[in-house]
Each structure stands twice: as C-alpha cells, then as structure tokens.
Amino acid sequence: MKAETHKVARLHAMLWGIFSLGGMIAAFLLPVLIYMTAIAYPYSLWPFNGARDPSFLVTGHLLGALFIFVTIAGSLYHGIFRFQSALTEVGLLKYRRALEAVGYFIIFVGIIVLAYYLVTWYLNGTIT
C-alpha cells in the first residue's frame, strides 16, 4: 500500500496566525489613530488640548512609535493577506502566486520604510 504524504502548510499557518491576531489588534488600534490625528488634534480635544501636535506620539514615547508601527504595518499585512483570499474568490487562481508576490513585495518595502521613518523620528525628533 502506498504511504500517504501530505505537505503541511506550516509557513502559511504562521502567516495566517499573524493575519488573524495582528489584524484584530490593528482593527482596535486604527480607530485610536484616526481619532488622534483626524479628530482630537484638529479640534484640540484630549490628549492634545491645543498644546501639542501629533508628532509627540512618536518623539515622546517608544510605545507611541510602536503603536503607530503596529497599526500601520498590521493593517497593511492584514490587507495583503486578505487580498490573496480575494484573488481566490474572484477566480484568479492562475495568477494568484504572481500577484501575491507583487503585493507582498510592496507591503514589505512599505513596512521597512515605515520602520526607518519611525526610528529616525523617534531618535532625532524629526523625519530626515
């Protein structure tokens, strides 16, 4: 009898875990970021109260930089992972691998650039 062989998608399982948990975290953080930058700052509400601009989030605290990184990188990653599901749903199975690769490359570059800017911002107090 022929032995069964199954190729376990271990890497995909891990990526799915990040997608699932990371997406949930990003979904909680995103409204906070939107509130801070689009509502609280322009209308001088808490925590700005007209005194500070949103850059204090990053320049003031490492946690602030981490918060922005997790929110943006998490949202981008969640988006690209869901995009590959959408490719399946619309029947683009044939082109899925290629489109996924392009998408992941763009997201990866975006996350690296984001990390660079946040680190620079945190260390120098300004983006160079």
Partner 1 sequence: MSQDIATIRVTRYRPEKDAKPFFQEYKVPYRHDMVVLDALNYIKAEIDGSLTYRWSCRMGVCGSCGANIDGEPKLTCASFLHEFKGRTITVEPMTHFPVIKDLVVDMQDFMEKLVKIKPWIIREKETPPEQGEYKQSAKELERYSQFSSCINCMLCYAACPIYGLNEKFLGPAATALAYRYIEDSRDQGKEVRFPIVHEMEGAWECTLVGECSVVCPKGVDPMLAIQKTKILGATNAIKSLLMPRGGR
Residue 69 CB, nearest distance to partner 1 (Å)? 21
Pick out residues in 56-75 that bind partner 1 (CB under 8 A).
Answer: none
How far is CA 65 from its chain centroid?
Answer: 13
9 belongs to the binding site for partner 1 (CB under 8 A): yes
**What's the first-to-final CA gap in the chain, in angstroms?**
66
Number of residues that bind partner 1 (CB under 8 A): 19
Residue 128 and residue 116: Cα distance in Å, rounded? Answer: 10
Judged by the rule CB under 8 A, the positions of this chain that interact with partner 1 are 4, 6-14, 16-17, 20, 85-86, 88-89, 91, 93
